[in-house]
Amino acid sequence: MIIPEKVKKIVQKLNDAGFEAYIVGGCVRDCLLQRKPQDWDITTSAQPQEVKKIFPKTYDTGLKHGTVTVVCEKDHYEITTYRIEKEYYDCRHPSQVIFTKSLKEDLQRRDFTVNAMAYHPKEGIQDYFCGQEHLKQKKIQGVGSPKKRFQEDALRMLRALRFSAQLGFEIEPETYQALQEQKALIQKISAERIHEELEKMLQSQYLEKICLLWESGLLNEISPLLYQKMLQHGTNILQELKTAPLDRIIRWTIFLQYLTPKEGEQLLKDFRFDNHSIKSIVMLLEHLKDEIPLQEYEIRKKACEITPEQLNRLFLIQGQKKDTTKWLHCLETIQKRGDCITLKTLAIKGKDLQKHGIHGKEIGETLSFLLDIVHRDPEKNNKQILLEYTKQK
């Protein structure tokens, strides 16, 4: 396994101080699959206070849960003390975290067997729950009783689907059955966490697995409206997502395309999207069906209305249903050439008009009139020429 030197050093330092330490979780899984890990997590028998004594630069991430972040040059690594989680309340949070001296107990509290492996550069893989075998079989299986594990923390149901979509794995039958039985518990999970998992699913490689979201019924508990749309159009949507660019705004718009802009907006608000994303996605939902003539004037005008970036997205989305390469090419040419698209680059400003005796409401009207002239013929974006037009008007 190829482990960064810095990570090895952290493990070594903990060992030198007399503690056990292992690389753990997603990064071990990803290394075995020859995927690039998102981050490197370390699990140790040392208590947070002891970890803090060993490393010069640390900050507290979740002391109660035993997590300290070690800063090594510019990189950050989470070091978590071996722990057991006791009695979950609200289907998400353990009421008590108990530190333990046993690596096996720490691995046992983790969600899926493929996520429950540890690795030590000298001792190799520590695998108590058949994680390696399940990696080979490409399956997501709960550690222990999946039913109990989903009852403890309902977010794990969405994580199961997300890992399935990211890795292209099947969900093991008992785990899937438990998920179907416990699906209503997802309602206890915060909108932010659901949003985060769906976001990762939409960016994942094995998009066809997303159909489990509605086939299992889980989506009905998250959004009955979206669930209904997916039963009807899901297959087509997944087909379109497969060939769509990774841009998250584009992906969400395709995913929500059968909602009205109003319904889309409500859903995005419910799932605590930031205002900028809401605005972008809703705007695209509003314009999805626009038929824009393949003429430079129309494209400049539309780019001005919704911004060139959004128009580019619109053509890419529409491109999933018809060939829009010519439109994309035309927009690209317009941008490369630096044609004037908005008032920002118009060669004449409100101040100039004032100097020529135009005031109040008339300024805005005149600027729009001039911008339209320039949209028709970008060569006319010249102060002298535009002043002439103003006089004629």
* Contact positions vs ligand ATP (CB under 6 A): 25-26, 38-39, 41, 110-111, 115-116, 153, 155-156
The distance of closest approach from Cβ of residue 76 to ligand ATP in the complex, given in angstroms and rounded to an integer, is: 13
The span of 30-38, 200-208, 277-285, 298-306 binding Mg ion (CB under 5 A) equals 30-38
Residue closer to Mg ion (CB basis): 111 or 339: 111
Q: Does 26 bind Mg ion (CB under 5 A)?
A: yes
**Side chain identity, residue 216:** S
Residue 135, token pair as written in the block:
């990696």
Residue closer to ligand ATP (CB basis): 66 or 378: 66
Residue closer to ligand ATP (CB basis): 111 or 339: 111
Q: Which does 110 bind (CB under 5 to 8 A by kind): Mg ion, ligand ATP, none?
A: ligand ATP
Residue closer to ligand ATP (CB basis): 131 or 264: 131
Place of tokens 């249903």: 321
Q: Give the angle subtended at the CA of 142 by the CAs of 234 and 39, to the nearest 5°.
A: 80
Residue closer to ligand ATP (CB basis): 146 or 264: 146
Catalogue the E-assigned strands of the chain: 21-24, 41-44, 58-62, 67-72, 75-81, 83-89, 93-99, 118-120, 124-126, 139-140, 170-171
The distance of closest approach from Cβ of residue 112 to ligand ATP in the complex, given in angstroms and rounded to an integer, is: 7
**Cα 245 to Cα 107, 131, 203, 235, distances in angstroms:** 37, 33, 9, 18
Contact letters (x/-) for Mg ion, 32-61, by CB under 5 A?
------xx----------------------
**Residue nearest Mg ion, Cβ-based:** 26
The distance of closest approach from Cβ of residue 31 to Mg ion in the complex, given in angstroms and rounded to an integer, is: 12
Burial class (CB in 10 A: 0-12, 13-18, 19+), 361: exposed
User: Please, are residues 54 and 43 in contact by the beta-carbon 8 Å criterion?
Assistant: no
Q: Give the angle subtended at the CA of 89 by the CAs of 87 and 95, to the nearest 5°.
A: 55
Separation CA 125–CA 119 (nearest Å): 4
Question: Whose CA is closest to 160, among 80, 218, 224?
Answer: 218
The distance of closest approach from Cβ of residue 133 to ligand ATP in the complex, given in angstroms and rounded to an integer, is: 17
The distance of closest approach from Cβ of residue 191 to ligand ATP in the complex, given in angstroms and rounded to an integer, is: 16
Residue closer to Mg ion (CB basis): 197 or 296: 197
Which residues contact Mg ion by CB under 5 A?
Answer: 26, 38-39
